[in-house]
Structure 1
Amino acid sequence: MLFLYLLSILSLAVQAVFVTLAIAAGLYYLAELVEEYTVMAKYIITWTVVATAGFHIGLQLFEDIPLHLNALGLLQQLLHGLLLRDFPVVRISSVAFITSVLTLILHHYLAFKFFGAVYYSFSEVLAYFTLCLWVVPFAMFVSLSANDYVLPTTGEKQPLLLGDNNVLTDYLSRKSKRYSLLSFFSYAKDSILPQRSKKAF
């Protein structure tokens, strides 16, 4: 009995490794898709925001979810809509971004408090958290790397010329210091996975 119990712990560890690798591969693929199709990503995220706002309205009309949870969810979707105006640029120092992060934390706290006091089945709680709390922030998180390959335009809010540099030199020097999801996964892929050298004939 003890040996089978130890095997079950080992199998859980192996399954956790496989699930983690699958999630990482999926995130890497999604980040590449968002960088390749920025306009389509903005379109999909916009309609996801609209659908999530509709879910909150439906929960208010047809379920016994408290008004403050749905009002907070609608406020979050409004803030996400404000963030999408400048997509793919996301300014983490903007008021909309900071407020959306704070309301997301508050929404999680109030949702945990409500679902801890009132019984709902696990699938219903998971549906609320997935569709009303996690989908849009997750999509915004994946799309943070979309700005890495956007070419500079005349609408840039920061000056493109610094000192004696021209536009291209300044752009490349700013883009060389990237900290994004896709650059993290690229670094992990290059450092963890073995590389095959190509044979020269």
Structure 2
Amino acid sequence: MAMQILFVTLAIAAALYYLAEIIEEYTVMTRKIVRVMLISSVVVYFGLWIFEGFPFTLVGIGLFTNVVEFGLLRTFPFIELTSPNFILTVVLVFVNHYFAFQYFSDVYHSFTEVLSYFTLCLWLIPFTFFISLSASDNVLPSTMQPLLSKSDDHDVLSHYMIKGKKKRSVLLTVFEGCKDLVVPSRSKRF
């Protein structure tokens, strides 16, 4: 049993890594897919309200969450963790879960229906945004980058070369130091 759990855990980790790599490679296509997912979620919410009689508060909070997530999509793949849209999205996901648990504890639905609701309406889109948080690390600088303020030059290349460099990770610095100890290289002289 322990080996099966370990195997499933490693399979999920590999799948998440693979999805993150695909999202990093195809950010424009990912943006289009997330947009279609958001529109589909809106359609599902209206269908649940009209055909299944879900309460308007549950549907309204879900629709408002989708509107806020459309705001995150405007700057995709550049998602700032401190932006009001991102913080409001996280808060609304928790609020949406609370109302969904309240509703499903009062009204009986089969387990597959509840799982389908949670997967399609509550988990799929935030999970996609969560996986795509690292996608902006490898994207070339562009004018869509929200880090530019009005006082900065709008010359993207100079901004990237001067102010936009990421801090190097500690692990990368350690590995490069080890490489220099093992295989010394000549320094370039100009």
- Do Structure 1 and Structure 2 share a fold, with TM-score over 0.5? yes
* 3-state SS in 2 of match to 1:64: coil
1:135 equivalenced with 2:124 (yes/no)? yes
Q: CA deviation at 1:117?
A: 1.6
One-letter amino acid of the structure 1 residue matched with residue 135 of structure 2: A
1:95 equivalenced with 2:84 (yes/no)? yes
Distance in 2, Cα, partners of 1:141 & 1:129: 16
* 3-state SS in 2 of match to 1:148: helix
When residues 50 and 166 of structure 1 are mapped into structure 2, their CA distance, relative to the original with a 3 A threshold, is: closer
Tell me what 1:151 maps to: 140
Distance in 1, Cα, partners of 2:31 & 2:89: 18
Stretches of structure 2 that go unaligned for 5 or more consecutive residues are: 171-190
Tell me what 1:46 maps to: 35
When residues 177 and 90 of structure 1 are mapped into structure 2, their CA distance, relative to the original with a 3 A threshold, is: farther
CA contact (8 A) 1:27 1:142 kept: yes
Structure 2-normalised TM-score? 0.79
One-letter amino acid of the structure 1 residue matched with residue 115 of structure 2: L
Tell me what 2:161 maps to: 168
1:78 equivalenced with 2:71 (yes/no)? no
Q: CA deviation at 1:154?
A: 4.5
* 3-state SS in 1 of match to 2:81: coil
When residues 155 and 90 of structure 1 are mapped into structure 2, their CA distance, relative to the original with a 3 A threshold, is: closer
Q: CA deviation at 1:93?
A: 1.4
Distance in 2, Cα, partners of 1:167 & 1:121: 53
Distance in 2, Cα, partners of 1:166 & 1:140: 26
When residues 155 and 166 of structure 1 are mapped into structure 2, their CA distance, relative to the original with a 3 A threshold, is: closer
Given the alignment, which residue of 23, 27, 31 partners 1:34? 23
When residues 166 and 52 of structure 1 are mapped into structure 2, their CA distance, relative to the original with a 3 A threshold, is: closer
Distance in 1, Cα, partners of 2:139 & 2:167: 10
Given the alignment, which residue of 51, 59, 64 partners 2:53? 64
Moved over 6 A (4+): none
Count how many residue pairs are aligned between Structure 1 and Structure 2.
164
Tell me what 1:19 maps to: 8
Q: CA deviation at 1:45?
A: 0.5
Question: RMSD between aligned alpha carbons?
Answer: 2.3
Q: CA deviation at 1:95?
A: 1.4
Tell me what 2:187 maps to: none
Tell me what 2:114 maps to: 125
Distance in 1, Cα, partners of 2:143 & 2:102: 48
Tell me what 2:97 maps to: 108
CA contact (8 A) 1:148 1:175 kept: no
